[in-house]
């Protein structure tokens, strides 16, 4: 699951703020029962909610197996476990194998933070068919996401305007507008979701997963975390090392970095992916339609973005393709090598004055559906990051660091540098500089790094292994492109991951797949 870079734009004045269940946190009454003893009522899944991204109810798996959904009650505030509860949305596909071969439930988190597991698992369910031979496949909307007490900030029309704004200010007036609009966005989140904002930290989600483990009936948590899901898995392993079963981390977040270092790392990662795209396009036997050399490809993209900064072009309907939307669209296309052909098409169109494809890619990154409704991935992403990350940066901080960000990426540097002010006026203090994932005594965790990953650079895998501690993290390297490794369908990676999850075979540390 993509971990969206916060190539964010400024918010408009919040005038018609949403009144939703998020105002009260979608919570229940206080309780006295033991939540670990609750029984889940699995039923046919409904169509995804607006906050989950909308669409149709999940289709049956090959062979006719139906997806089932349930809700899990969890404390809103884990410091007050007998207080108000919230409902967490779960989804599962029961194992396809014989019951006597079943290991347990394999819980997935696909990243973000802010991604809906209830919608993502069915979308990629066939990719995990082999794992389903011995596990029930399970995922969930983490707290603050989708159907699980979602954080809400701006309305759909306001979000359209929000994503049109300039996130790479060129002068004092644009910088002031960016800071004011960010402050107004954050105020909207507080107005609409005040009761949930202090309780969406990754530590809260990790405690939810341990409750989930118990209610699902497993002595250990069997886990597959992707992108931000690796951070969540690392925090779980730190809090509950003795409860870690077989676990895989793919597309690994560097747990040693603060938010500034993480943004700089993403700038380097997306620039590397852009370099690889340009080299790939121009190295083929046929002519590359968007440049004669790799540098020419990048120069033409830079010129397009500069032109869009001065004058946007038609996008979809009445919406114009701005510099920010085009940058978002380019970033989205770099998450997977499978998307590179769409980037070529989108650039060709944009050079001819048509921004539709780049706008579609940008909408995908931002969680906008064709009917103009947004999932809550942006609101949840910001809320979780700001609750987790202690640093708060000023415009002066950003301006001091701009040269370093621009050196890391001429294209993405400004956007990712200015994303550092996202939490400056946030209502809830951040928890720490970076997560603690030390997990002495935990079972082996397979940590898979991709050398061409734009969103979670390869170096994060080694840092995660070191931070988990001796005898816990086992590193596997995939020499490939795109975000993550298992989803690339590389047979070497899938054999190693499946061998561990299905049969407990830990690959040799330092294994390399290409």
Catalogue the active-site residues: 227, 453, 483
Strand partners for 71: 89
* Torsion of Cα atoms, 341 then 344 then 345 then 349, to 10°: 170
Contact 7, 335 (CB under 8 A): no
CA distance 342 to 495: 30
Report the relative pairing of strands 244-250 and 445-452 from DSSP bridges.
parallel
Residues near 172 by beta carbon (within 8 Å), at least 6 away in sequence: none
Alpha carbon 18 to its chain's center: 24
Pairing of strands 221-226, 104-109: parallel
Neighbour-count burial of 109, counting CB atoms closer than 10 A to its CB (0-12 exposed, 13-18 middle, 19+ buried):
buried
Secondary element (H or E) of residue 401: helix 395-408
Given phi > 0 = left and psi -120 to 50 = alpha, else beta, which region is 80? beta
Give whole-number Cα distances, 387 to 131, 363, 422, in Å.
34, 25, 12
Coil, strand or helix at 33: coil
Sign of torsion over alpha carbons 349, 350, 352, 353? positive
Edge to edge, the sheet with strand 135-140 lists: 43-44, 68-75, 85-93, 135-140, 104-109, 221-226, 244-250, 445-452, 473-481, 511-513
Give ∠ CA 432-438-441 in degrees, rounded to 5: 150
């Amino acid at each position: 699951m993509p971990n969206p870079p916060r190539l964010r734009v400024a918010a408009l004045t919040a005038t018609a703020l949403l009144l939703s269940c998020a105002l009260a946190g979608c919570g229940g009454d206080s309780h006295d029962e033991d939540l670990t003893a609750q029984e889940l009522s699995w039923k046919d899944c409904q169509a995804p909610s607006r906050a989950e991204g909308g669409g149709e109810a999940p289709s049956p798996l090959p062979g006719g197996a139906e997806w089932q959904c349930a809700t899990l009650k969890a404390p809103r505030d884990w410091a007050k476990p007998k207080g108000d509860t919230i409902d967490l949305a779960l989804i599962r596909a029961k194992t396809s194998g014989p019951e006597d071969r079943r290991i347990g439930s394999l819980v997935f988190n696909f990243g973000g933070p802010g991604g809906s597991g209830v919608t993502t698992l069915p979308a990629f369910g066939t990719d995990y068919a082999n794992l389903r031979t011995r596990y029930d496949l399970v995922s969930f909307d983490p707290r603050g996401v989708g159907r699980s007490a979602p954080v809400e900030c701006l309305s759909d029309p306001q979000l359209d305007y929000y994503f049109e704004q300039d996130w790479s200010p060129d002068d004092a007036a644009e910088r002031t507008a960016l800071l004011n609009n960010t402050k107004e966005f954050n105020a909207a989140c507080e107005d609409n979701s005040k009761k949930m904002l202090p309780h969406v930290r990754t530590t809260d989600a990790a405690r939810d997963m341990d409750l989930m483990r118990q209610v699902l009936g497993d002595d250990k948590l069997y886990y597959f975390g992707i992108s931000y899901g690796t951070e969540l898995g690392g925090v779980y392993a730190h809090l509950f090392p003795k409860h870690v079963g077989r676990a895989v981390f793919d597309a690994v977040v560097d747990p040693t970095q603060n938010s500034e270092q993480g943004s700089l790392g993403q700038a380097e990662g997306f620039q590397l992916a852009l370099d690889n795209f340009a080299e790939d396009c121009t190295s083929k036997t046929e002519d590359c339609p968007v440049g004669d050399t790799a540098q020419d490809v990048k120069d033409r993209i830079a010129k397009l973005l500069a032109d869009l900064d001065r004058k946007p072009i038609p996008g979809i309907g009445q919406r114009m393709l701005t510099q920010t939307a085009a940058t978002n669209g380019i970033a989205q296309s770099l998450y997977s090598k499978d998307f590179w052909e769409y980037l070529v098409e989108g650039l060709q169109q944009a050079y001819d004055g048509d921004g539709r494809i780049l706008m579609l890619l940008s909408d995908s990154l931002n969680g906008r559906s064709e009917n103009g409704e947004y999932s809550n991935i942006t609101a949840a992403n910001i809320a979780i990051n700001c609750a987790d990350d202690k640093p708060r940066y000023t415009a002066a901080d950003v301006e001091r660091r701009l040269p370093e960000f621009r050196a890391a990426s001429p294209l993405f540097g400004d956007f990712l540098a200015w994303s550092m002010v996202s939490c400056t006026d946030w209502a809830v203090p951040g928890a720490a500089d970076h997560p603690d994932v030390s997990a002495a005594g935990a079972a082996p965790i397979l940590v898979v790094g991709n050398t061409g990953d734009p969103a979670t650079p390869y170096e994060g895998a080694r840092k995660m292994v070191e931070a988990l501690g001796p005898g816990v993290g086992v590193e596997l390297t995939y020499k490939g492109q795109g975000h993550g490794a298992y989803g690339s369908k590389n047979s070497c990676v899938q054999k190693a991951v499946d061998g561990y999850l299905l049969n407990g075979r830990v690959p040799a540390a330092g294994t390399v797949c290409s």
